[in-house]
Amino acid sequence: MIRDFAPGNYRFIPAVFQYSSGAAALPGFEIERVRFDRLTPLAEGFAQAAKYIQAAGRPLTSFCACELRSPAAFTEDGFRKFNEHYVKTLSEWGIFDGTTNPVARSNVCPEIDPPAEPSFYAFSFTRPSQSTAPSFVIAGGAEARGGAGSYPERIVRFRDLSPEGLKEKVRFTVGAMESRLDAFGFSWKDTTGVQAYTVHDFHPVIADELVRHGAMRSGLTWHFARPPVIDLEYEMDCRRVQREMVI
Residue 1's pLDDT is 86
pLDDT digits (tens, 9 = 90+) for 10-23: 999 999 999 999 99
pTM, entire model: 0.96
DSSP assignment of the chain, as one string? --EEEGGGTEEE---BTTBBSEEEEPTTEEEEEEEEEEEEEHHHHHHHHHHHHHHTT--GGGEEEEEEE-SSPBPHHHHHHHHHHHHHHHHHTT---SS----EEEEEEESSS--SS-EEEEEEEEEE-S--S--EEEEEEESB--SSS-HHHHBTTTT--SHHHHHHHHHHHHHHHHHHHHHHT--GGG-SEEEEE-SS--HHHHHHHTGGGTTTBTB-EEE-EE-SBTT---EEEEEE-SEEEE-
pLDDT digits (tens, 9 = 90+) for 76-121: 888 889 989 999 999 999 999 999 999 999 999 999 999 999 999 9
Q: Is the pLDDT of residue 148 over 90?
A: no
pLDDT digits (tens, 9 = 90+) for 172-193: 999 999 999 999 999 999 999 9
When the candidates are 3.30.1330.40, 3.40.1500.10, 3.20.20.450, 3.40.630.10, the CATH number that belongs to 3-246 is 3.30.1330.40
Q: Give the residue-averaged pLDDT of 148-172.
A: 95
Residue 76's pLDDT is 86
Place 149 in a pLDDT band, splitting at 50, 70 and 90: confident
What percentage of the chain exceeds 70 in pLDDT? 100
